[in-house]
């Protein structure tokens, strides 16, 4: 019997947790070719990328983490370099993005035989797809809080390209159709498609006029909203979202736009307004971080 290469993670007596169980060569909990278990950095848990089951294994004894290889490096006159000194430091966010890139590459390859055009387009804008997925995850959008990555990536791709897949394709890809389509519906509410009338834009004008802002300031705020790709927000109310965006865009201009003034505008929900501001702030911070990374690469 072939031993499980992931027994230190899933346990020595592991059997597939999916119903019905997969064979050992088809289950990620026991097969290299299926990708192996995945680590959720937020929860510190190992889980199955196919069915989402969490592998619950007691922490290994302390002495299991020591390796005799360090002593061997001294025995054969090799220069010893500690493992920690050789390892490349990778933040949790970097790890999350790498995992999503890997999942997207696997997904686009699997989709190729059914929809080659969609596969190529996914690869062409992989960065945009992953950026939007991360925004939705960080903002805790309900349809994007699960551990499985492929349904979320596929939902974003189908939304951006206005595509649909047959049920048989979902079955072949082993991706839950209902979960993916729930993500598409969520995106339709959060981020209207390019070319469609966006109620947030109309409400930015309304809020700006209510604050007696100069027309040029309102136009610039709308342009910034459009150029940012009509960013998603965790709050559904359009006027409240518009008020939050206009508030943030006018802060550097010293026009005297305060939260108290904005909350007095008809239709702006006071508690939801603060949450909407936080949601847009998260989006802007992540966008700025990505821009800084690009600038460092250019240097």
- Domain limits of the chain? 1-87, 92-190, 199-283
pLDDT given at position 218 = 93
SS3 content of the chain, % helix, strand, coil (to 5): 60, 5, 40
Quote the pTM value.
0.42
Burial status of residue 114 (CB atoms within 10 A of its CB: 0-12, 13-18, 19 or more):
middle
Three-state DSSP state, 281: helix
Model pLDDT for residues 205-218, shown as the tens digit of each residue: 999 999 999 999 99
Instruction: Compute the C-alpha angle 18/122/295, nearest 5°.
Output: 115
200 vs 44, which has greater pLDDT? 200
Q: Which structure tokens are listed for 89?
A: 């430091």
Q: Pick the range with the lowest mean pLDDT from 131-145, 220-234, 283-297.
A: 283-297
pLDDT given at position 46 = 75
Asked if residue 218 lies in contact with residue 209, where contact means CB atoms within 8 angstroms, the answer is yes
Separation of alpha carbons 66 and 60, rounded Å: 11
Asked if residue 231 lies in contact with residue 267, where contact means CB atoms within 8 angstroms, the answer is no
Please check the confidence at residue 21 and state whether its pLDDT lies above 60.
Answer: yes
Separation of alpha carbons 292 and 75, rounded Å: 46
Please check the confidence at residue 65 and state whether its pLDDT lies above 60.
Answer: no
Instruction: Compute the average pLDDT of residues 151-172.
Output: 91
Q: How many CB atoms are located within 10 Å of the residue 94 CB? A: 13
Backbone angles phi, psi at 208, to 5 degrees: -60, -40
Please check the confidence at residue 70 and state whether its pLDDT lies above 50.
Answer: no
pLDDT given at position 204 = 94
Burial status of residue 284 (CB atoms within 10 A of its CB: 0-12, 13-18, 19 or more):
middle
Superfamily of domain 199-283: Cyclin-like (1.10.472.10)
The pLDDT-based confidence of 192 (bands split at 50, 70, 90) is low
Q: Which structure tokens are listed for 186?
A: 């969520």
The pLDDT-based confidence of 67 (bands split at 50, 70, 90) is very low
265 vs 291, which has greater pLDDT? 265
Q: Chain-centre distance of CA 207, in angstroms?
A: 31
């Amino acid at each position: 019997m072939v031993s499980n290469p992931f027994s230190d993670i899933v346990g020595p007596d592991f059997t597939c947790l999916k119903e019905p169980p997969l064979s050992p060569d088809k289950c990620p909990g026991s097969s290299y070719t299926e990708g192996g278990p995945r680590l959720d950095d937020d929860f510190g848990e190992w889980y199955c990328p196919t069915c989402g089951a969490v592998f619950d294994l007691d922490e290994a004894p302390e002495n299991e983490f020591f390796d005799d290889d360090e002593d061997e490096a001294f025995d054969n006159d090799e220069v010893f370099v500690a493992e920690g000194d050789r390892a490349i430091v990778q933040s949790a966010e970097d790890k999350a993005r790498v995992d999503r890139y890997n999942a997207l590459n696997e997904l686009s390859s699997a989709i190729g035989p059914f929809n080659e055009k969609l596969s190529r387009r996914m690869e062409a804008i992989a960065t945009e797809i992953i950026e939007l997925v991360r925004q939705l995850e960080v903002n805790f959008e309900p349809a994007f809080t699960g551990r499985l990555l492929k349904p979320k990536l596929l939902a974003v791709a189908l939304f951006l390209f206005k595509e649909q897949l047959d049920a048989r394709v979902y079955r072949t890809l082993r991706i839950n159709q209902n979960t993916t389509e729930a993500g598409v519906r969520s995106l339709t509410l959060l981020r209207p498609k390019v070319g469609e009338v966006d109620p947030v834009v109309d409400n930015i004008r309304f809020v700006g006029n209510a604050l007696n802002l100069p027309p040029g300031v309102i136009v610039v705020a709308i342009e910034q909203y459009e150029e940012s790709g009509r960013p998603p927000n965790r709050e559904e109310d359009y006027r409240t979202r518009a008020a939050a965006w206009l508030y943030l865009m006018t802060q550097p201009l010293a026009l005297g736009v305060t939260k108290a003034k904005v909350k007095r505008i008809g239709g702006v929900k006071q508690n939801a307004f603060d949450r909407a501001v936080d949601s847009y702030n998260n989006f802007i911070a992540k966008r700025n971080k990505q821009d800084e990374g690009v600038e460092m690469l250019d240097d």
